[in-house]
Amino acid sequence: MGMIAIGVGGADAVDVMAGLPWELTAPRVMGVRLHGELSGWATRKDIINKLAGILSVKGGTGSIIEYFGTGTQTLSATGMATVCNMGAETGATTSIFPYSPSMSKYLHANHRPDMAHAVEVVSQELRSDEGAEYGQTIDINLSTLEPHINGPFTPDLATPLSRFGQAVEEQKWPETLTAGLIGSCTNSSFEDLSWAASIAQQAVDAGLTPTMPFLLSPGNLQTRETLEKSGVLRTFRKGTSNSIITPYNRNFSGRLDSNRKTNIFIASPEVVMAKVFSQDLAFNPSVDTLVTPVGEQFYFEPPTGNSLPGQGYLDFNAAYQAPPIGDRSGLDVQIDPSSQRLQKLAPFARWFGNDYEDCLILIKTKEKCTTDHITPAGPWFRFRGHLENISNNTLIGAINAENDKVNTFRNQLTRQNADVPGTARHYQAQGRPWVVIADHNYGEGSSREHAALQPRYLGGIAIIAKSFSRIHEANLKKQGMLALTFANESDYDRIKASDRVSIIGLAELAPGKPLTLQAKPIDRKPWDANLLHTFTPEQIEYFKAGSALNMMAKGNDAVE
């Protein structure tokens, strides 16, 4: 919608709700020029799938991605939303499109004509300046863009559909699909589902039925009810009676079915829908055929559909609960003391005023350590309101650099093999602060603040990584943890999980001023390394207070 909308973690959102300032390191601006027009099987999803393959999961870090060029005017508002939504998978701070008439059409369809008029009045301001220059420019020709399938295990491994069958064979990916999923925050608009329904209708008309479980999850109740009214959902129901393919935005191991060996691939809803009727991962719906129940060869025609419902979206807000009116300062949240799902959050301890010395290393992780690895979802989601219980999944998905296993390593005090959260609790009970050593882009993925809350709750004091995901780095700081990076990345390779580490210089912690890591190996000489950070003056106060909430409460005289 031509708006700079930046994702934040829950802790940052609390600041804004409380009227406190919100800070962001000034981002660079990267330009993506779109020209031409999508056709055939190429969809909105393929723009961002291709871009993720170009940039990688960290290539957009610290940048706003600005789309420009004539191709932007050919996309629908919800199509642009899909592209912007998944921009986070490149590490981008946010993504933005210039104003186009499709935005006004969307606002009218959503019963916001006054907003549409206001936007049209200032539409010239909602686009880049003529001759704008970018730190980096990428060109994508929509007219020649191929459908892309990304994965497995990472959203930036992009393969054109025409070469995907060959990749399946070469990489020895499981050839049999076990489930097809359509929906999520990324691809659950009316447009996405109506175009996918055109593929489903072709298959139903040919007598085909899905060859695997097919799950549909519209992104919100308004979209679901609009799809129901327009008849789109009836099309999907007609067809209903370990690889997974989905248009979701993330495909990290274990994310969808808790099975870390499942290969999850990301494609457009239209390609996902076609593959549901094949069960063959390598099936290319643009050229391959299926056999109907009467033995005839069936060929999918390219998808078609509408970007907006013909009669507009239903005016639907039945799920909205308005906050209480008036003074809410005296409200009390009552929680059953025996509840296993909800628990009041006790304030974290303030910084004790000295350097952290002889800390244990809880785990040295390697390769990807996303928020899904730090705090897996699935059955654990029921404990989101109970920090004690959900902390029992802390880092159970992280790969241990010492043995390439998950949730299996050596407790450095007992010298016994143990699980990660249990060992963290043991270190905490012994009064031993601990740190995590991590690889690149630590905390990639969703903004779930539990990935920062849980290590803090279990006695962690610092994450020392090669680099961080932006939102997770901010979340760590909000919980009073030290988010530090190696000045020399090779120091990551020098350090071992059995080393004791000290973090020196905390009394003089200041923006841009390095700290010192003192490593004490049990079998080698001690050595020092510089640690960098991005703490602002206010974030330093979070650390000293024990958390941003502590500092906020102190300002209201709620913390002694």
Question: H helices of 144-292, where?
Answer: 161-171, 190-205, 221-230, 232-238, 269-276
Distance between terminal CA atoms of the chain? 45
Distance CA 253, CA 239 (A): 29
Rounded to a whole number, what is the largest CA-CA distance in the chain? 78
Q: Which domain holds residue 248?
A: 148-298
End position of a domain, from candidates 124, 141, 158: 141
Distance CA 44, CA 80 (A): 7
- The token duo for 371 is 């928020």
* 277 falls within a domain: yes
Same domain, 382 and 481: yes
CA dihedral 358, 433, 22, 322 (to 10 degrees): 180
Same domain, 418 and 468: yes
Distance CA 387, CA 343 (A): 7
Same domain, 399 and 527: yes
Same domain, 252 and 369: no
Check: CB of residue 237 under 8 Å from CB of residue 227.
no
* 560 falls within a domain: no
**CB within 8 Å of 104: residues ≥ 6 apart:** 116, 119, 120
Same domain, 264 and 367: no
Same domain, 172 and 126: no
* 338 falls within a domain: no
Q: What are phi and psi of 227, to 5 degrees?
A: -65, -40
**CB within 8 Å of 171: residues ≥ 6 apart:** none
Residue type at 172 in one-letter notation: K
Same domain, 116 and 160: no
Query: What's 275's domain CATH number?
Result: 3.30.499.10
**CB within 8 Å of 487: residues ≥ 6 apart:** 514, 529, 530, 531, 532
- Give the residue among 471, 453, 465 at the shortest CA–CA distance from 495: 465
- The token duo for 21 is 């300032």
With 0-12 / 13-18 / 19 or more C-beta atoms within 10 angstroms meaning exposed / middle / buried, residue 295 is exposed
Check: CB of residue 81 under 8 Å from CB of residue 3.
no
Residue 230 has a pLDDT of 62
Q: How many other CB atoms are found less than 10 A from the CB of residue 405? A: 10
Distance CA 107, CA 464 (A): 45
- In which element (H, E) is residue 32 found? strand 28-35
Q: What are phi and psi of 400, to 5 degrees?
A: -75, 120
Query: What's 38's domain CATH number?
Result: 3.40.1060.10
Distance CA 560, CA 548 (A): 15
Residue 151 has a pLDDT of 86
- The token duo for 261 is 């060996």
CA dihedral 489, 491, 495, 499 (to 10 degrees): -120
pTM, to two decimals: 0.80
Residue type at 114 in one-letter notation: D
Check: CB of residue 455 under 8 Å from CB of residue 472.
no
Query: What's 414's domain CATH number?
Result: 3.20.19.10
How many independent structural domains does the chain possess? 3
Using the structure block, give the residue that is written with the tokens 């093999």: 417
- List the Cα angle 25/30/36 in 5-degree steps: 150
Check: CB of residue 216 under 8 Å from CB of residue 276.
no
Residue 235 has a pLDDT of 58
Check: CB of residue 124 under 8 Å from CB of residue 502.
no
Q: Which residues of 63-93 are buried (b: 16+ CB within 10 A; e: fewer)?
A: bbbbbbbebbebbbbbbbbbbbbbbbbbbbb
Alpha carbons within 13 A on the beta-carbon side of 454: 31
Same domain, 452 and 370: yes
* 311 falls within a domain: no
- The token duo for 404 is 């390439």
* 334 falls within a domain: no
End position of a domain, from candidates 272, 298, 324: 298
End position of a domain, from candidates 88, 117, 141: 141
Same domain, 363 and 469: yes
Render 441-501 in DSSP notation, one character per residue.
Answer: TBT-S---THHHHHHHHTTEEEEEES-B-HHHHHHHHHTT-EEEEESSTHHHHH--TT-EE
- DSSP, collapsed to helix, strand or coil, labels residue 63 as strand
* 442 falls within a domain: yes
Check: CB of residue 95 under 8 Å from CB of residue 205.
no
Residue 227 has a pLDDT of 57
Rg from Cα positions in the chain:
25
- The token duo for 331 is 């409200």
Residue type at 436 in one-letter notation: V
Residue type at 541 in one-letter notation: E
Residue 448 has a pLDDT of 84
- Give the residue among 309, 267, 305, 299 at the shortest CA–CA distance from 202: 299
Same domain, 536 and 476: yes
Same domain, 117 and 46: yes
Q: Strands 527-532 and 515-520: what pairing?
A: antiparallel
- The token duo for 235 is 């099309």
Same domain, 421 and 402: yes
* 195 falls within a domain: yes
Check: CB of residue 262 under 8 Å from CB of residue 243.
yes
* 227 falls within a domain: yes
Check: CB of residue 66 under 8 Å from CB of residue 128.
yes
Using the structure block, give the residue that is written with the tokens 């390769």: 367
Spacing of C-alpha 163 from chain mean position: 27
The pLDDT averaged over each successive group of 10 residues in the chain (560 residues) is 82 79 88 97 96 92 95 96 91 94 94 93 91 95 97 90 95 88 76 90 93 78 65 55 46 47 84 91 96 96 91 75 81 90 94 97 96 89 93 96 92 95 98 98 87 98 96 94 98 97 98 98 95 96 95 64
